[in-house]
Amino acid sequence: MQNSEGYKIYHCHTVYDFRSKSNKEEFLCKMRERDLLGSFYCVRIERDGDVVGQSRVVRLWNKPSQALVTFAFLGRGGKQYELLLADFDRRPQVERKKVKLKNRERGVGMVFELRSPRGELNSGGPVLDWRGL
């Protein structure tokens, strides 16, 4: 396959068009074989002190068959991140619009700076309490 400039493309990413957010979330749940717990719009995401994403949606997933809860997002340069919530301290630091998760082994971790539309921290659905996971 070639692009419009004649360069070979060795892998393709299909683009899907969904008519509603609920259709998109249903599709993601079926493809990932997981339950979507919540999604948050983050203005900035840091990992170990480095900015790895800006203006991104972070999704919290539950895979009941393996008792896993993960959070996932697409970072800079298209890099996909999916991290086990169990690897982080169960008591996050919450400061205004920032949620800081400390990695249990390395001590450093993730910082999510959230935008709060209409006074809520998440982008839709019920408000999710990070401490309850």
Locus of tokens 């998760």: 101
Q: Which phi and psi angles does 57 have, rounded to 5°?
A: -100, 130
Rounded (to 5) percent helix, strand, coil in the chain: 20, 45, 35
Confidence of residue 2 (pLDDT cuts 50, 70, 90): low
Domains of the chain: 34-126 (2.30.29)
- The larger pLDDT score, comparing residue 40 to residue 128, is at 40
33 token code pair: 């074989």
* Highest averaged pLDDT of the listed ranges 62-66, 110-114, 121-125: 110-114
Weakest-pLDDT range from 3-17, 18-32, 34-48, 78-92: 3-17
Judge if pTM exceeds 0.85.
no
Q: In 3D, which of 82, 87, 129 has the Cα closest to residue 105?
A: 87
Distance of CA 115 to the CA centre of its chain: 14
C-alpha distance across the termini of the chain, in Å = 44
Q: In 3D, which of 91, 92, 84 has the Cα closest to residue 112?
A: 92
